[in-house]
Structure 1
Amino acid sequence: MTQLEALRREFEKEAITTRKMLTQVPTDKFNWQPHPKSMTIKRLAAHIAELPTWIGMVFNTDELDFENNPYQVEDVNTTAELLAYFEKSVEDGRKHLKDGKEEVLDKPWTLRSGSTIFSIDPKRDVLRMAFSQVIHHRAQLGVYLRLLNIPIPGSYGPSADEL
């Protein structure tokens, strides 16, 4: 199995789990946040929904410079819009994983803000980091949902709500 085949397989499995979690986000709680320093559930869920688009960014660029690319989260206003955005992002990620070339995976990719460099890693590692970001933020979303007493779907087996 090639590296890209393994990434495609993992991507599809994680998309199923992510979709289940995003489905649980209630529109009427979009402005809720567990702490003033935390993202709102809307911002967190929209960020999770956009992360599959990072695959194309990694394949098509050699860096992300926050100074020249200010972050703007997608403005979704309902759970249905959130899920539609996620599906669009998944299609984008799927396309780039399908069309991607193995030889590109060794090329360096830089994360920076102007002259401050945070990391320079092979694109393969940056793709793995993007997948890890989904898992990380999905776990945060699980905490948010638990605090709101909303059932949490299982990720790698059943959740306590499914037993």
Structure 2
Amino acid sequence: MRLNIDFMDETDDVKQEEMNLLEKLLNHAAEMESVDKDSELSVTFVSNDAIQEINRTYRGKDSPTDVISFAMEEMGEGETEIAGAENLPRMLGDIVISIDMALKQAEEYGHSYIRELGFLTVHGFLHLLGYDHMTEEDEKRMFTRQEDILKSYGLER
């Protein structure tokens, strides 16, 4: 495997086989994106209440959302690089997914829960790699890449 992934399920609703599939999907995405071997990230599954609190605290939006990513490699103003960090595994960051929203959106979009969970996971992963959808051009690039990854893995609508 290419990635070291720490899965945490605060809902106790995600089955081990679903986490295994997401681990394989993330490793597939990492290979397609040429991510360094042994890079690390976490994926946490939460309720709508928990993700709403995170969304309010970190984004100033007092509503639940489906996925939030916290990239570790974004250097902000006034931050400094850690000496010797080049010898450490690459820390990509954290992905937080609302299971409640995944279930709701799977039904709304007419596809399976695992397809929605895979979509949200890849979406969060691409954010960790610097993809964004703030402009129309960036959105097209990111969503095309998501679909390419999901399709090549075999997790289509």
TM-score (norm 1): 0.24
Relative contact order: is structure 1 or structure 2 higher (C-alpha 8 Å, sep ≥ 6)? 1
Larger Rg: 1
Higher helix share: 1
TM-score (norm 2): 0.25
Higher strand share: 2
